[in-house]
Structure formats: C-alpha cells, structure tokens
Amino acid sequence: MVTVSRTFTVAAPRERVHDYLKDFANTVHWDPGTVQCVRRDHGPLRTGAEWTNTSTFMGRTAVLDYTLAVLEPERLVFRGTNDKAASTDDITLDAPTDTTTQVTYRAQITFHGALRLVSPLLRRPFERLADQVVERMTTTLGDL
C-alpha cells in the first residue's frame, strides 16, 4: 500500500472548490496522470456517482472505476478499483477565510497480486506525482 498526503491553500472559496472537485471528471485538469475521466451515470452528482478514469503512471496505462463514496460540505471521498489495485482519494476542505480554502488531499493505493511486492518501490514516484497534483490543483482551483 502507498499513501501520500498534501495540505495546501488555494485562492478560491470552499463552496466553489467543493462544487468543482465533486465532479471527478475534472481530474483531467488537476491530476497530471489522468488522461480521461468519464462519468458512467447521469443526473445530479451525489453519493454513488460513478466514473471511469484512465491514467498513465510510469509509462503504464490503468483504468479504474471510481465511485463517490462520501459527499459532505467539507469532505469528498472517491474509491476506485480494477483487478490490480484499489485507490482512495480523500479530500478535506477547510475555509480559513471567505476567499481561500485549505485542501488536504490524501491518496491511498493498495495493489493486488504480484504488484503488492513492488509497492514499496512506488512510494517515491507517487510522492513526486502528489507534488505535481498540488501544483496543478492550486492553479486550476485558483482560476475558478
């Protein structure tokens, strides 16, 4: 299992940040690994909404099916799965001011099968990816 966590502040109000991040299709704008993310269901975004996310990481492509597991004003949790891994993106939003949001982004990836054996070697590349997520998310959310 690999877990990475970052806390940072963006120049946008919490409600606007929440409304943007709750649509996981927007990962194409803030997650440098995401190539495509398509909603699989229809209607209002609510707990249980589903997406198919295609990402590249270290030269490999992975497709995970994600579900919005927690939808609260201050927290969003997305859970993704495929036959090789399970992923949880846990996003907490705090409003230190009316115009800024403190974002805590925590990603946890659990590998299945033989990939479990190499997961300790993937920690450093995932740490670098998390740094890139902070940069892109800060810019993207600041432009809302």
For 45-103, what is each residue's pLDDT tens digit?
999 999 999 999 888 999 999 999 999 999 999 999 999 999 999 999 999 999 999 99
Helix (H) or strand (E) holding 99: none
CATH (domain of 119) = 3.30.530.20
| Average pLDDT of every residue of the chain | 95
pTM of the model: 0.93
Cα–Cα distance between 74 and 93 in angstroms, integer? 5
Domain holding 70, by residue range, is 2-142
Please list, in sequence order, all residues whose beta carbon lies within 8 angstroms of the beta carbon of residue 64, skipping any fewer than 6 positions away. Answer: 52, 53, 55, 80, 81, 82, 85, 87
**Total domains present in the chain:** 1
**Cβ 88 vs Cβ 63: under 8 Å:** no
